[in-house]
Chains A and B, each alone.
Chain A
Amino acid sequence: MAILQTRGLDKWFGGLHVTDNVDFSMQPGEVHCLIGPNGAGKSTFFRLVLGEHLPNGGAILYDGADITRAKSYQRIRRGISVKFQVPGIFKALKVRQNLQIALQDHLSGHSLNEEIDRLLEFLKLKDAAGQLAGSLSHGQKQWLEIGMAIALKPKLLLLDEPTAGMTPDETHATGEMVQALNADGVSVLAVEHDMAFVRQIAQRVTVLHFGRVFAQGTIDEIVADERVAAIYLGETGHA
C-alpha cells in the first residue's frame, strides 16, 4: 500500500488550473523527489498534501486513509511532517525550546530532555542550544526546522527545497541527514531544484509541468528523458 497517493487532484486559483488531475503515488520507505520548472505546481501540491489548501477535486490518501479534507494538524498527528522552504522556526525562543515545543506532546520529564539532547547532537546544534533560534546561521535554521519536523517521529517527511541557500558542504550534510532518516524507515518527499542533491538522495523522481505529472521514474531515467530536458531548457536550463 502506498504511503501517499493522490487521485485526480485538482486545484484552481481564479481561472488558473494550478494542479491538474494529478495522480501520484509513493511507496513506504521511499525517498521521492518532486521537480519541475518554476510555476509547475510543486508548492501547491505540497500545500494540498498538508491541508493548507483544499482541492477542488480528487482525493488524497495517506497510509490507506482518505485525508482529503482533514485539518492540517490532524494530518500532522497521523504522521506527516514538514520542513518549509523559508525556515519556519520560533525566532524569539531558544533553540532548545523550539525542539521542546515539537516534542512536549509526546514526551515529558527526563525522557524529553534526553530526546532533545539526542536531536541537538544529530543536528550539530549542541553548542547553540541556549541561543535564540533567530540568531542561527541560515543553514543551522534549516537544520533546526528539520529537527522539529523529525521530532514528531513522522512516517512521511515533506521537505520543501531543504537545501535552498545552503553552502555545498551544508547541502551534502543535509543529504546525509535525509539518508540517515530514510535508513530508520522514514519516507521522504522533497521538492528540490539542486539536481546534484536529487541524485544524492532520490530513489524515484516525479516531474511536474503546468500542474500535470509530466514524467516519473528513477533519476537516471528522468535525466535521460529528452522531453524533461526540453522543458527545463525552454526555461533557463536549471538541470
Chain B
Amino acid sequence: MDFLSSLFSFAYQAGDAFAFLVLSACGLAVIFGMMGVINLAHGEFILCGAYVSTSATHLGVPLPVSILLGTLVAGAVGMLLERAIIRHLYDRPLDTIVVTWGVSMIATQGTLILLGSTMQGTGTPFGSIEVGGYGYSVYRLVLMAAAVATLAVLWLIFTRTRFGILARATIQVPHIAEALGVNTSLVYSLTFGLGAGLAGLCGGLYAPTMTLVPTMGSAFVVEAFVTVVVGGADIFLGTAPAAAILAVVKAALTSWEGQLAGQIGLLVAVIIVIRVLPRGLTGFILRERA
C-alpha cells in the first residue's frame, strides 16, 4: 500500500508537470511550427487569459465560461497583433521575435500601470482528495484532463479541418501553402490567433492556482521555451512527447530536491539534449528528414 501511494504520488507529480508543460507550451509551439517565430509575448497572452477569466469570475460568470472567455479574448488580441505588426515582418523572422519582446514589455508594464501590482485571485476550486494519507488537489487533476483534452482538440483541428491540414503541410514543408495558392495571410492570422488563444487558455486554467501579478507570464515561459526547444516544430511528434519526457525528469528532480531543482535540472537537461539532438525530438523522430 505504501508503495502504491508513493507511486500515485509520483504519477500525480508527473501528470501535474506534464499538464503544465503542455498547456504552457502548445500556444508557443503552434506559432513556432507554422511561422518559425518565437512569440516572446507568449507570457503576456497567458497573463491576458488569466486576468480576463479572473475578472469574469469576480463578476459571477461560472469558471468554465470565464476560462473560455479568457481564451477568446487572448486569441482576438493575438489576431489583432498579427494584423497590426507581425504581418509586416514575415520576411524577417528574427526581427519579429525582437518586436514581440517589445510587445511583452508594453503589456507587462501597461498592466502594472492600469491594474496595479496585483489582482485579487479566486482561490482554487474543488478542494482535495486523500490517497494514502496525503491530500491531492482535485483541480490539479482537472488540469491534467484539460491538457489531454487540449491535445485531443488540437489533433482534431489539425487533422479534420482544412485550416489544420494546410497548417500541418506548412510545418512539414515550409512555403508549401503559398505554392498551393492558399491565402497564407489568413492562415497565418488564424495561427497566431490560435497560438495566443492557447496561451490565454493556459492563463485561464492556472489563474485559480496562483497569485495574479503583471509578471506572472514569466513563470510559464521557461517551461514553454524548453519544451519547444526539445520538441521542435511539430506539436504531436515533438511538443507532446517532449512534455511527457520532461515531465518525468521534472517530477523526479522535484520530488528529490524541490521545485527549483526541478526547473534548473530541466534547463540543464535541455542544454545537454541540444548537443546530442540538434534537431529536437521532431527531427529525431523523423530521422533528420532532408
Which of A's residues lie within 8 Å of B, judged by CB?
Answer: 12-14, 18, 44
Contacts and interface: CB of A to CB of B under 8 A. Distances in A.
Interface in B243-290: 286-290
Interface of B: 286-290
10 contacts: A12-B287, A13-B287, A13-B288, A13-B289, A13-B290, A14-B286, A14-B287, A14-B289, A18-B290, A44-B290
A18 B289 CA distance: 11
B174 to A, nearest CB: 15
Nearest to B286: A14
Contacts of B290: 13, 18, 44
Nearest to A13: B290
Contacts of B286: 14
Contacts of A13: 287-290
Nearest to A11: B290
A86 to B, nearest CB: 14
A48 to B, nearest CB: 12
A115 to B, nearest CB: 35
A208 to B, nearest CB: 16
- Which 9 A-B residue pairs are closest in the complex by CB-CB distance? A13-B290, A14-B287, A13-B289, A14-B289, A14-B286, A13-B287, A13-B288, A44-B290, A12-B287
Contacts of B288: 13
A18 B287 CA distance: 13
A183 B217 CA distance: 65
A12 B289 CA distance: 9
B187 to A, nearest CB: 26
Given A14-B286, A14-B287, A44-B290, 7 more contacts: A12-B287, A13-B287, A13-B288, A13-B289, A13-B290, A14-B289, A18-B290
Contacts of A12: 287
Most chain-B Cβ atoms within 10 A of its Cβ — which of A12, A13, A18? A13
Contacts of B289: 13-14
A12 B286 CA distance: 11
B289 to A, nearest CB: 6
A13 B288 CA distance: 7
A73 to B, nearest CB: 17
Contacts of A44: 290
A191 B288 CA distance: 24
A96 to B, nearest CB: 27
Contacts of A18: 290
Nearest to B287: A14
